[in-house]
Structure 1
Amino acid sequence: MPVVVGLIADPALPADVAHRLAATLPSVLAARLDSDGADWRVETVVEGFEEHGEGPGVLERARERARDTGWDVTVCLTDVPAVSEGKPVVAELDERARIAVLSLPSLGGFRLFPRTRDAVVDLIGTLTGTARTGDRTVSAVHTELLRSTARTSGEGTELSRTGSLRLLAGTVRANRPWRLALALGAALAGAATGSAFGLLYSNIWSLATALAPWRLVLAYVGAVALFVGWLLLRHRLWERRRASPAPAWLLNTATVLTLTGGTLAFTVVLLVGNSVAAAVILPPDHLGGVLGRAATVADYVRIVVMATLLGVVAGAVGSGLEDSEAVRRVAYGHRRRERRRPGPPE
């Protein structure tokens, strides 16, 4: 007997996870649930739950979307960092309609796919009454994430656990900070110019080798902070209004951490490039002549670090020329506002 599972996913990360799940979920459900040989089938739909302006909550939208589909059970994957009464909400269920909404940020920032897979299996087992009692392979939600309370709200049952750090890590993961480095083309051009200045001017070599290591580290941290702060202000990523189900502190902290992670990835690429360039264009004899002593590996390291931090500062200026949309996509608050813009469905 076929049992059809509908996966509705927000765009971006939830959609990627849903498509990956669809390929393996039927066999996992057959192995882990007491389904009497049911023929599990999975259908995937990508749709922004908040795409068309103000309206019902995610669970109600899921009910509307699943109403005429013929699905036996529906699981929605969202990147909305849900919080209720100060506690992260892992999932919200409507057992009568066999619908669940799973908040991916509540699963944390690591091992996202296996956590999501186990949570989806557990939710389907709960909604269909086919969960195996005592099976340790089933259930990231009940054994790892729940350990708390299941309480009934006006819309369904919310499964929650106090875990703000897990929720924060999950929100940063949903922002996909590594994509920021790919979006900073103009900043990279500026950074290359600044780095070239650091690698080609002998006064910079003398300064870099004269500075104590802690001064170089402090200058490097300051350059990264400048870059992050400039991105935050220039592209207006700071959340000032309570326009989200998640608290502003969570969104702003996640945005800062996302920008920091993306900037660090950016500087690592710059550091590697500068290391190669220094090895090619700075002969040890010439460098030693400028320094008045034999050049060492430590001298090269200091020069590369100095060139990199100069590049980061120049890159901050170049980032002002970036397409704001490309940078803003790393912030959940901006993605949410984009989904809520009035307009017909795609």
Structure 2
Amino acid sequence: MTHSERDRPEIVVGLVATPPDHPARVAARLTAELAGRLAERVDAGVRWTVREGWGEVAPRRDGGVEALLNDLAQRRADDHWDVAICLTDLPLHAERVPLVAQTSARRQVAVVSLPALGLHQLRAARAAVPDLVSRLLTDASDQRVPPAGRAPAEMARRIPAVHRVVGEADAGERRFVASGLIGRARLLTGMVRANRPGRALLGLSKLLVGAIGTAVFALSTNTIWQMGDALGGLRLAVIMLLGLTALVVWLIVAHDLWEKPDRETPNELARLFNLGTILTLTLATALSYVVLFVGTVLVGALLIDTSVLEQTLQRPVNVTDYLKLAWITSSLATVGGAIGSGLENEETVRAAAYGYHPRPDGWRDEKGGQSPGGR
């Protein structure tokens, strides 16, 4: 560090992720570049130091954003940070609309709800966090930086998820909220994004293997050929939807993924968790179905000779017949896949539940503590 750098005032910004799962991945990427963004957007004359940490694996649900702000304020004081920002995957609400972020100048902390940012959470967080830090320092009358040149309402124009700013401006308690309908739609897509459906898809690998085995066996019988020929597109679509619905229900019931309201989990939060779980599993099973369908088409083309199929159906056949055959076979094979899902590793399937947060291995807190094993 040069002499001129030592002469510059230092501001320490703590970036905390809770739970240390998806939010920690966003925080890790943001931490690497946040100091530069703060110098560019807030004040280049300050020596910005960014500390990365992680909060509770299962953050408090009953206290809402205030509980998160209080816990974060205690962490900020304990670690001697100037300001602290919390990234969380909890879906938060204010005035019955999704809450994107909230700042508290009195506590010198802010919380960002990643799901409320929608699909592009890292990009939105990159734009939001420097503004939140600047607003906190301005509201706290910190003399080390010039007052924020932007009004809080400008954040609504910079961040698509933010619709308006509410709260007590004089007290430095501001809530950045989303719109009603569009905000809720963005919140649900953001919850699915935070729940990482790709992880759920990989977790259902044995289900997919079982379904492929069932499909290969079914393709070897001419009864399924005749069924595919007899059924129309509408009935095939209904069978497919029933099969996928049954699979999602089976996964939720067999692995106890349904969130039940209790003293710690309000009804509204439990409903959002369950909706996030259903949407994640629906997307994962739909992607599994596409893989199964493509595989069944290829196996059917290799296994069933055109002349044999024509002899059974007693008419000329074309590509459409093979696609219909793969369609009915894939739909029926999802039932076999549901049975195979009972053999899945419990931890990988439960990871699809939005309210379930396994304690990750390998994450390190800035305090130097290694994350414990799974719970």
Map 1:260-271; keep pairs closer than 5 Å.
Answer: 260-271=282-293
**8 A Cα contact 2:72 2:86, kept in partner:** yes
SS of 1:31's partner is helix
1:61 to 1:49, Cα distance in 2 relative to 1, 3 A: farther
Map 1:193-212; keep pairs closer than 5 Å.
Answer: 193-212=213-232
Aligned to 2:204: 184
**8 A Cα contact 2:155 2:162, kept in partner:** no
Q: Kindly provide the amino acid, as one letter, of the partner of residue 196 in structure 1.
A: V
**8 A Cα contact 1:14 1:104, kept in partner:** yes
Q: Kindly provide the amino acid, as one letter, of the partner of residue 121 in structure 1.
A: P
Aligned-residue offset at 1:4: 2.5
Choose the corresponding residue for 1:258, options 280, 291, 298: 280
Map 1:227-246; keep pairs closer than 5 Å.
Answer: 227-242=247-262, 243-244=264-265, 246=268
Aligned to 1:22: 31
SS of 1:5's partner is strand
**8 A Cα contact 1:198 1:306, kept in partner:** no
Matches of 2:82 and 2:148, distance apart in 1: 16
Aligned-residue offset at 1:270: 1.2
* 2:168 corresponds to 1:148: no
**What are the superposed Cα offsets for residues 124-166 of structure 1, whole Å, 9 maximum, x if unpaired?**
1211235332799x74686534433422599954332332222
Aligned-residue offset at 1:208: 0.5
* 2:116 corresponds to 1:106: yes
Aligned-residue offset at 1:244: 2.6
Q: Kindly provide the amino acid, as one letter, of the partner of residue 44 in structure 1.
A: E
Choose the corresponding residue for 1:213, options 233, 242, 250: 233
Matches of 1:119 and 1:53, distance apart in 2: 24
**What are the superposed Cα offsets for residues 149-192 of structure 1, whole Å, 9 maximum, x if unpaired?**
42259995433233222222222221112211111133123212
Choose the corresponding residue for 1:158, options 175, 183, 194: 175
* 2:242 corresponds to 1:222: yes
SS of 1:97's partner is coil
Aligned-residue offset at 1:312: 0.9
Q: Kindly provide the amino acid, as one letter, of the partner of residue 183 in structure 1.
A: G
**8 A Cα contact 1:227 1:316, kept in partner:** yes
**8 A Cα contact 2:98 2:187, kept in partner:** yes
Aligned to 2:22: 13
Matches of 1:150 and 1:258, distance apart in 2: 32
Q: Kindly provide the amino acid, as one letter, of the partner of residue 50 in structure 2.
A: V
Matches of 1:53 and 1:291, distance apart in 2: 59
SS of 1:41's partner is strand
Matches of 1:48 and 1:141, distance apart in 2: 32
SS of 1:310's partner is helix
**What are the superposed Cα offsets for residues 204-237 of structure 1, whole Å, 9 maximum, x if unpaired?**
1121122111111111111100101111111122
Aligned to 1:40: 48
Let me know the Cα RMSD of the aligned residues.
2.9
Choose the corresponding residue for 2:132, options 116, 123, 144: 123
Q: Kindly provide the amino acid, as one letter, of the partner of residue 13 in structure 1.
A: H
Q: Kindly provide the amino acid, as one letter, of the partner of residue 56 in structure 2.
A: G
Farther off after superposition, 89-98 or 73-82: 89-98
Matches of 1:237 and 1:54, distance apart in 2: 20
Choose the corresponding residue for 1:95, options 93, 99, 105: 105
Matches of 2:347 and 2:47, distance apart in 1: 44
Which has the bigger relative contact order, CA under 8 A and spacing at least 6? 1
Gaps of 5+ in 1: none
Matches of 2:79 and 2:289, distance apart in 1: 48
SS of 1:40's partner is strand
1:170 to 1:106, Cα distance in 2 relative to 1, 3 A: same
Gaps of 5+ in 2: 1-7, 139-146, 361-369
**8 A Cα contact 1:119 1:140, kept in partner:** no
Aligned-residue offset at 1:248: 2.6
